Amino acid sequence: MDAPSLPALLLQTLCDSIMCLWQEETAGVGTGLLADLLFLNAETGAAMLDLLVEEGVSDPTQVPAMVRYIHQWLTANESAGHRLDEALLELTEEYPSDVMITLLRWAPSCDRAAATMWGTIMSSSRTAEPALQLLLDALSAWPVYSVYTSDGDNTGVFALAATVALWRVFNLTWRSPVVLEYFPNLFLRLLFQAYISTQEMPEEGQWCLSLPAREMRRVSIIWCCGMASCLFDLLSEGISDWELPALAFLVEVLDCLDLSECGEKVLEIFTSQLQSESTEMRRVVLRGLVVLTSMDPSMFNLTESLGKLLWDADEDIVEMTLIVLSLLLLHKDLTIASPIALQLAEALWHLFDNENSHVQLLSIRLFQDVITLVVAKDKKALKKHVSESLLPLFFHCHDENGRVAQASRETLLSAVRFLKRKDLKQLLKTDQMWRLAECLLGEDRSRAAERLRQALPYLRSPQEPLREAAVRFIGAWAQASAALAGLGTAATLWQP
């Protein structure tokens, strides 16, 4: 075997000396001579780094310092950007966390040298995946990702550093398959970082989710499906900071998904989040349910959660819940069991007087659907609520809003049919509305008193026709009460 050449021997000897100095530098007792030696000659410095890596790193605490020296060498030698690729790849493969965390700490702005290093790391199948996973972890732990490197440093790594690194990676002229595979998850994490950073600015936060999702849907349905899978994972993790943006993005791409494959998963997530204490979360879920039920009403049954939302203090949530229920009840084969019918009927007739005319209209129409679709054997339990709805429906037959008035008349007709009140049905069909009111008052005195209680709020209605109807109804009640009182007096006088 040939003897090593003189330059090789000199380089090996120099390398051995450098190793001794290296250990002193990384132990914190060096003189700083190592850094000077590395930059005396570019090729010599690179060769020494190669040798250091080939010799093997016996102490992991040396790795962060080696990464910093590689970055410094690349900074000083701009024209030789890939001279140290192999050394960097070997270090990264053996100590991925040490290399990449150090790089994020040392060069958070991802300058030219750092971009070169990230490009090298992403170019190899050996190192690209752990690098991408680490960047995902850093992005997830907003705002600071804290982890120890082998030298004991636990300085925080800001998610912004990972964001800049990713931006550099995606601006490379080539992209490895593993980078493209990770793209949906990376894109979502970046998007959520943008959302989280604008939480105090609702309009900007909304833009960060809605517009990019719509553009992504327009450009590539395949990407949307890939992102949906990532969203399912995020939502199943139960990380509160991510739930709202993840859910909002899922809603925006929902119509791109194959519900035969993922419908049950989507429904499970939506049903769970309907119970959220966050008003904004409930709004997003309901927006999703509107899309979902528009696509396939049969896949979602009426639930107790939806019924509870009809009592919500937020008017938008009530309105969206009514829309979801309306879409569900378009499904012709649907029947409603007694417990749900009772829950819905009670909530709905209390909404007949809502100030929002759309809520009024939806609630009146839905009430008609509920009493029509309730299972026959369960109708008896519903009679009380249907009876209580008669007077509000009667008043709203006089509503200034023609659609509300028409819906009230049609629902009133369904209600009297449900109660099997042929007398009221005939009066309604022949448009004898005040005879119908008199019939309601002609019931037993305890029921008449309840009708009066229901009529009193309409005296304060902002609509003149409703106020006039209330005055006339109360006048009729007073006459009926006087007549009943007179009959009582006469009966007393007649007694022997």
pLDDT in tens, 248-284: 888 888 888 888 888 888 888 888 888 888 898 899 9
CA atoms of 420 and 142, how far apart (whole Å): 63
Cβ–Cβ contacts within 10 Å for residue 154, how many?
10
What pLDDT is recorded for position 488?
43
What pLDDT is recorded for position 31?
39
pLDDT in tens, 76-115: 887 776 788 888 999 999 999 999 999 999 999 999 999 9
**Residue given tokens 């300085």 in the structure block:** 155
The number of residues making up the chain comes to 496
pLDDT in tens, 307-361: 889 999 999 999 999 999 988 887 656 777 778 888 999 999 999 999 999 999 9
- What is the pLDDT averaged over residues 157-177? 81
CA atoms of 81 and 116, how far apart (whole Å): 7
What pLDDT is recorded for position 107?
93
What pLDDT is recorded for position 410?
95
Please give the share of the chain, as a percent, with pLDDT higher than 70: 76
What pLDDT is recorded for position 490?
34
* Whole-number CA gyration radius for the chain: 37
Say whether the peptide bond before residue 496 is cis (omega within 30 degrees of 0): no
Predicted confidence band of residue 444 (pLDDT cuts 50, 70, 90): low
Structure tokens at 175: 């992209």
Structure tokens at 248: 């909002």
- What is the pLDDT averaged over residues 413-441? 89
Q: Residue 293 above 70 pLDDT?
A: yes
DSSP per residue over 141-196, as a string? Answer: S-SEE----TTS----EEHHHHHHHHHHHHTSS---HHHHHHHHHHHHHHHHHHHH
Predicted confidence band of residue 175 (pLDDT cuts 50, 70, 90): low
Read off the amino acid at residue 495: Q
Widest distance between CA atoms in the chain: 145
* Cβ contact 439:423 at 8 Å: yes
Element (H, E) at 363: helix 357-373
What pLDDT is recorded for position 389?
92
What pLDDT is recorded for position 377?
72
* Residue whose C-alpha is closest to residue 228's, from 211, 250, 210, 243: 250
What pLDDT is recorded for position 450?
82
What pLDDT is recorded for position 243?
83
Q: Residue 181 above 50 pLDDT?
A: yes
Q: Which long-range contacts (CB under 8 A, 24 or more apart) does 444-447 make?
A: 445/484
pLDDT in tens, 25-56: 545 434 344 455 454 566 766 777 777 677 66
Q: Residue 400 above 90 pLDDT?
A: yes
CA atoms of 97 and 105, how far apart (whole Å): 12
List beta partners, residue 158: 144
Domain ranges of the chain: 1-175, 335-483
Contacts of 431 (CB under 8 A, 6+ apart): none
Structure tokens at 182: 């990770």
Determine the Cα angle at 405 with ends 402 and 409, to 5°.
Answer: 140
What pLDDT is recorded for position 231?
83
* Cβ contact 98:64 at 8 Å: yes
Q: Residue 205 above 50 pLDDT?
A: no
Please give the share of the chain, as a percent, with pLDDT higher than 90: 29
Higher-scoring residue by pLDDT: 156, 197: 156
Predicted confidence band of residue 183 (pLDDT cuts 50, 70, 90): confident
Q: Collapsing DSSP states into helix, strand and coil, what is residue 82? A: coil
**Residue given tokens 């790193």 in the structure block:** 57
Q: Residue 23 above 60 pLDDT?
A: no
Q: Collapsing DSSP states into helix, strand and coil, what is residue 109? A: coil
Kindly list the distances between the CA atom of residue 16 and the CA atoms of 12, 22, 50, in Å, as whole numbers in the listed order: 6, 10, 13
What pLDDT is recorded for position 146?
81
Q: How much is the pTM?
A: 0.68
